[in-house]
Amino acid sequence: MLARRLAAASAALAVLVTACGDGEAPTGESSPSPSATVTPAGPTAPGTTASPSPSDTQRDVTASIVVSGGQVQGGVPKIEVAAGDEVRLEITSDKADEIHVHGYDVFADVGAGETVTVEFTADITGQFEIEFEGSHRKLADLVVGG
Amino acid sequence: MLLAHGVGVRGDLPLPLWIVSYGAAAVLVITFVGLVRGWKEPRLEDGGVGRPLPGWVQGAATPVEWLLRIVGVAALAVVVVAGLTGPETGGSNFAPFMLYVIVWAGGMFVSGFVGNVWSALDPVETVRKGLPVDEDAPDVRARLGLWPAAVLLLLFTWLELAYFEPADPFAVTLMVVVLIAAPVLGGLWSSSWWLRGANAFGALFRLLATMAPFHRDDEGVLRVRAPLSGLPRLNPIPGTVALILVALGSTTFDGFTRTTIWESVAAGKTGWTGTAIATLGLLVITGIVAAMYLGAMADAAKGTEHSTGDLARAFAHTLIPIALGYAVAHYFSLLVFEGQQAIKLASDPFDLGWDLFGTADWTRSFSAVSAATIAWVQAGAIVLGHVAAVVLAHDRAIALFPQRKATESQIALMIVMVVYTMGGLGLLLGA
């Protein structure tokens, strides 16, 4: 039957396509993509360290971001946390600007050569930008998992 | 879907792999059942007429329509003034929210799921009402078709997805003026067909509304029909296929920009350099989506008296549910979250401290819909759009071809649709 052959052919194809798709699109959980690294190579940026708190469900996540010459040292990081995590951002800048965590609308001023710490609970899922309001410089992508 | 520094503060999370796997499995099972089980006679070709709505609805429709026309023209004036005089950051200006969230995303949803409400709100259609319509000038209609609309829609998607400041109020206002001026000037100087053929949103929403439950028949009677049942009645003209493929290609590109492949290409490219790369990406991805469809049609046309172009038009209606499915997958969360901001800004569109609708103090709730719900809506929209397309294509094929050729003709199209679906899901999976 032609219909049956057609069905078989498309099944084979679909499996093939699914397989390709899986290979090309890594999930956040199993294999982090190159751009998703939160641990930059530079000595000035210690990156994100997650230290498990007594409770298993809620963690404290600290990310350090250093901006100098208008550039985020080690590239713009992707900070991946789970919903409910306590996020602590340590941001150092060589120029004065205002930090804005989009979605959460957390704002903080940083002076030239200062380090500022911003803390909030990541209770809104989704992907958000953290940026300098004044210079529109993107500091990080915050990814809060469901 | 994230319009940098403006509309779209919250980006969606990648689809969890298991939802994608279930989605893909559903596609295969439903597709096989639909094809292999007995569906030997065309059943959908005569559908899509439906029942007339009660008399009082018909009577109320005309005043409501004129009310909507006034609202549409007034809203256009507010958008232009807000765009030119309001706050300069996109995130607090009414104009970009109106264009991207309410009209573009909202317009696609309402057109596909309710009916062509936009034709009453659309200022271009209102102008058309006031002009002598020269029977839509058959020669101009045949020559131009919907090609001007397809080109203008591509320009709009370029602003949305490639330009580096898509929510910039001035750029948005300029775009609105171009989208309105092109059909109106064409209509005034050339032929009234321009008011339809160069109306990018109007033409696309009209196409999407062919799958909607509510519609007006040729006599102007309001009717209700089964969702999707009106699609086989679509009568494509030159440019119809191009218009749908632009809509489909641009949402595909939107998904592609979320993948690691794209990130590695575009990383660190800002300003016009980034815009140039994104422009190329938009054109290439739209080209690939179009080439796949036309390739399948060329394959189906082999050994028949039909040309590739004939078949591309004969199967164009099957792409409409896919286009709407992609639109839902890409804009659902934008509509839910940024729609709140649009309602807030509507109370004070010129930033003068007004509170017209009592919503000026609203703050967006990003918890209104959970990430899991969004993921299911995204996967569901793509899968259902695909399934509807396969069923419609099967029905059209048995109406067009003899039995054996009908099945053969669908092999290439089936492959294309499965690739579209897997691609659509895969792009939403891409982290």
Comparison of pLDDT for A137 and B238, the residue scoring more: B238
Distance from C-alpha of A123 to C-alpha of B78, rounded to nearest angstrom? 36
Give the pLDDT band of residue A35 (cuts 50, 70, 90): very low
Contact A7 B11 (CB under 8 A): no
Interfacial B residues in 332-351 facing A (CB < 8 Å): 333
Q: What is the mean pLDDT of residues B210-223?
A: 94
Contact B418 A13 (CB under 8 A): yes
What pLDDT digit, counting tens, does each position of A103-134 carry? 888 899 999 999 999 999 998 888 888 989 88
Q: What is the mean pLDDT of residues B134-160?
A: 90
The residues, ordered by sequence, that sit 6+ positions from A129 with a Cβ below 8 Å of its Cβ are A102, A138, A140, A141, A142, B2, B4, B9
Chain A residues at the B interface, defined by Cβ less than 8 Å, are 2-4, 6-7, 9-11, 13-14, 17-18, 21-22, 24-28, 33-36, 75, 102-103, 123-129, 131, 136, 143-146
Q: Does the pLDDT of residue B159 top 70, yes or no? A: yes
* pLDDT recorded at residue B7: 65
Q: Does the pLDDT of residue B136 top 60, yes or no? A: yes
Contact by Cβ (8 Å): B93, B86: yes
Smallest CA–CA distance from A123 into chain B, residue: B367
Q: Which residues of A touch B259 (CB under 8 A)?
A: 24-25
User: How many residue pairs bridge chain A and chain B with CB atoms within 8 Å of each other?
Assistant: 120
What pLDDT digit, counting tens, does each position of A3-12 carry? 444 444 444 4
* pLDDT recorded at residue B37: 66
Distance from C-alpha of B294 to C-alpha of B310, rounded to nearest angstrom? 11
Structure letter (DSSP) for residue A34: G
The residues, ordered by sequence, that sit 6+ positions from A58 with a Cβ below 8 Å of its Cβ are A84, A85, A86
* pLDDT recorded at residue B77: 97
Q: What is the mean pLDDT of residues B371-395?
A: 88
Q: What is the mean pLDDT of residues B370-399?
A: 88
Torsion of CA B312, B318, B321, B326, to 10 degrees: -50
Residues in chain A: 146
Question: What are the Cα distances from residue B298, in Å, to A112, B96, B310, B320, B403?
Answer: 63, 40, 10, 20, 19
- CB count within 10 Å of CB B77 equals 11
Q: Does the pLDDT of residue A32 top 60, yes or no? A: no
Question: What are the Cα distances from residue B430, in Å, to A27, A31, B246, B263, B283?
Answer: 7, 12, 22, 11, 20
* pLDDT recorded at residue A137: 82
What pLDDT digit, counting tens, does each position of B74-100 carry? 999 999 999 999 988 777 899 999 999
Q: Which two tokens stand for residue B284?
A: 């290439």
Contact by Cβ (8 Å): A109, A118: no
Q: Is the confidence metric ipTM above 0.95 for this complex? A: no
Q: What is this structure's pTM?
A: 0.84
Contact B264 A35 (CB under 8 A): yes
* pLDDT recorded at residue B14: 81
Distance from C-alpha of B9 to C-alpha of A141, rounded to nearest angstrom? 11
% of residues, chain A, pLDDT over 90: 34
Quick one: CA dihedral A49, A52, A53, A57, positive or negative? Answer: positive
